[in-house]
Amino acid sequence: MSTPKRRLLEEANQQTTLASPAKIRRAEIGTQSRALASEESSAGEYEEPEIEGMYLDTVNRANLDFDFEQICSVSLSTNNVYSCLVCGKYYQGRGKQSHAYFHSINEDHHVFINLHTLKVYVLPDNYEVRDRSLNDIKAVIRPEFSPAQVRSLDRSCEQSRDLNGRRYLPGFVGLNKIKCNDYINVVVQALAHVPPIRDTLLLLPDIEKQTPLVQRLAGLLRRMWHPKLFKAHISPHELVQEILTRSKRRFGLDLPGDAFDLLTWLLNALHIDLGGSKKRNSSIVYRAFQGEILATTQPIEDTKSRKHQQDPIEMDAHKSSVKVLKMPFLTLSLDLPPKPLFADDDNDDENGKRSAIPQVALVSLLQRYNGSTISEWRGEAKKYQLTKLPKYIICHVKRFSKSEFSVEKNPTVVNFPIRNVPFGELLPKSPDLASEQDSNTTYNLISNICHDGQPEQRQNTSATSDEGILAESHYLIYVHHKANDKWYKIRDLQVEHIMPQMIFL
C-alpha cells in the first residue's frame, strides 16, 4: 500500500512520460528558434561562425589583379567567372564539374570571389563567406564613391600607399603600356581630370546597365581615383579591348595612333551612349565641351578681285554666293605656320648649329576664330566667328601633315599662359550676333597632351622595326592638380612632379 506522497510522485512521472514527446518537440522547436535568432543576430553584427573564417589566411592580395578582362583562363568564357583569391587566376563556375572546383582540389586553393556579384565562396565545400576583412578586395574590384567623396577630390592632396608601401596620389596613377597604346593612355588621363566628365562616371548609377564602353571607361576612372589600390599603377586592358572592338579596329595597338582622332571619336561615342542627341546640352559631353561658331564661306571666284596674288582675300558680301552657317563644335583646331625650309642665320650659334626652333603665341593662332581672318580651303574662302564658349574648351594644334607614304611633324613651339587665357576677345562685338556668355571668358589650363619624338614613317614599317618606332615616338601628358596647385608629367607608368615652366606645346 502506497503512501499519498508516493502516489503523487507516480502520477507526476506518468504525466511526464506521456507529455515527453510533445515537450521534446517543443524543446526542439525552441532550440531551432534560438539558433535562428542567434544566426540573425550574428549576421546583423557581421560575426560569422568560426568555420566561415577557414582558409581566409590563404588569401594573397599581392597576386590579385582585376584590371584584365574577366574571362575564364581555361574555357575562355565570360559567364559566371570567379577569381581565385590565392593565386589570382580566373575560372568559370563553382559547381562540382566547374574549372574553379577542380582548381580548388588540384591546387589546394579554396577562396573564390564572383566577379559579378562579389560574393565569396569556399570550395570545394561550396559555402558563402561573409567577412569584413574581404571588403577591401571587393572595393578594388568595383570602387564606389559618394557625392561627398567626389566633391573632395579636387580639395584633397593626401597620398595613399599600395601593398608594397609605395606612395601614390589618387587620380595621378600610371597606366600600363601594353603595346602602342600610349595615345589611349593620355586621352584617358585627360578625361579623368575634367570634373564634369569625371564626376558623372564616378557617380553613374546602375553601371551594369550601361554600354560596354561606358562600363570600361567608368571602371578605369574609378580605379584611378581609388585611394586603396593594391598596386600604384593600373592596366587599361579592358578599355583598350573595347575601343578596338567598338571602333572596328580603327584604333589598334600594332602601330602608333593619333590621340586627337581617338579623343574626338571617344567624345562622340560617349555622347551617344549617355543618351545624347543633336540637341544642345543633351549629354554631359555636350554640356562640358560644346560651343558654337559662325562659319561664312564663299567660292574664291566670287571674292573681290586682288591686284596681286599675295594680297589678302576679301569676301564680296553683296553676292548671293555667301553662305553663313551656325556650327556646334567640341574642339577648336589651330593651324601652325608652315614649317620653315631653312634655318635663319639669326638662329645659328657660333658653331653654325641651329640654336632655336620657330615659336608662335597661342593668342595669334586663336585669331582664326575672330570673324575677320579669311583662309582659303579647297576653292573656297572661309572665316570663322566664335559665338558661344563652352565650359571646358579643347584646342588642337595641328602638327602633323599626312601623305600617302609619310607623316611630317611641325616642330614649332606654341607659347601660352597656363592661367587666364583670354577667349573673350574672339567673341562678336555686335549685340545682334553676340550670344549669352558668362562674365568670365578666361580659361585655365587643366591638361596638355604632347607628342614626343618623330612620327612613324609608314613606308618603312616592318615587323622588325616596331621597337625603333616606339623609341622615337611617344605621347605624354601634363596634368594639373587643383588641391596642391602642382603639375605632374605622366608618361604611361611614369608619374613625376614638374615645374610649370616645363609645360609647353
Q: Give the pairing type, strands 395-398 and 421-422.
A: unpaired
Render pLDDT for 169-222 as a digit per residue (tens, 0 to 9). Answer: 999 999 999 989 999 999 999 999 999 999 999 999 989 899 999 999 999 999
Mean pLDDT over 133-150 rounds to: 95
- In the chain, the N- to C-terminal Cα span, in Å, equals 118
Q: What is the pLDDT of residue 317?
A: 80
Cβ atoms of 415 and 360 within 8 Å: the answer is: yes
pLDDT band at 19 (very low <50, low <70, confident <90, very high): very low
Q: Per residue in 376-402, pLDDT tens?
A: 888 888 999 999 999 999 999 998 887
Backbone angles phi, psi at 496, to 5 degrees: -145, 145
pLDDT at residue 254 greater than cutoff 90:
no
In this prediction, residue 349 has a pLDDT band, given cuts at 50, 70 and 90, of very low
Given pLDDT bands bounded at 50, 70 and 90, which one contains residue 246?
very high
Task: Quote the mean pLDDT of the chain.
Answer: 83
Kindly report whether the peptide bond that precedes residue 205 is cis, defined as omega within 30 degrees of 0. Answer: no
Cα 315 from Cα 325, distance rounded (Å): 15
Give phi and psi for 463, each to the nearest 5: -65, -25
Q: Flag whether pLDDT at 55 surpasses 80.
A: yes
Question: In sequence order, what E strands does 105-183 have?
Answer: 111-114, 120-122, 127-129, 160-161, 167-168, 174-175
pLDDT band for position 411 (cuts 50, 70, 90): confident
137, 130 in Cβ contact below 8 A?
no
Contact 161, 473 (CB under 8 A): no
Nearest to 444 by CA among 398, 393, 382, 483: 393
The answer to whether 229 and 161 are in contact (CB under 8 A) is no
When comparing pLDDT for 4 and 333, which is higher? 333
Q: Residue 96 has which C-alpha cell?
A: 562540382
Give percent of the chain with pLDDT exceeding 90.
61
Instruction: Provide the b/e sequence for 98-117 (b: ≥16 CB within 10 Å).
Output: bbbbebbeeeebbbbbbbee
Q: Which of 12-16, 73-77, 97-101, 307-311 has the lowest mean pLDDT?
A: 12-16
Q: Which stretch, 289-303, 351-365, 435-449, has highest mean pLDDT?
A: 289-303
Query: What is the arithmetic mean of pLDDT over 314-321?
Result: 82
Residue 16's φ and ψ, nearest 5 degrees, are -65, -40
Q: 276-285, 287-296, 423-432: which range is least confident on average?
A: 423-432
426, burial (CB in 10 Å: exposed 0-12, middle 13-18, buried 19+): buried
pLDDT band at residue 10 under the 50/70/90 scheme: very low
**Which residues partner with 414 through β-bridges?**
360
Minimum mean pLDDT range among 17-31, 72-86, 401-415, 452-466? 17-31
The average pLDDT across 49-61 equals: 78
The greatest distance separating any two alpha carbons of the chain, rounded to the nearest whole angstrom, comes to 150
With cut-offs at 50, 70 and 90, classify the pLDDT of residue 437.
low
β-pairing verdict for 359-361 and 413-415: parallel
Give the pLDDT mean for 312-337: 89
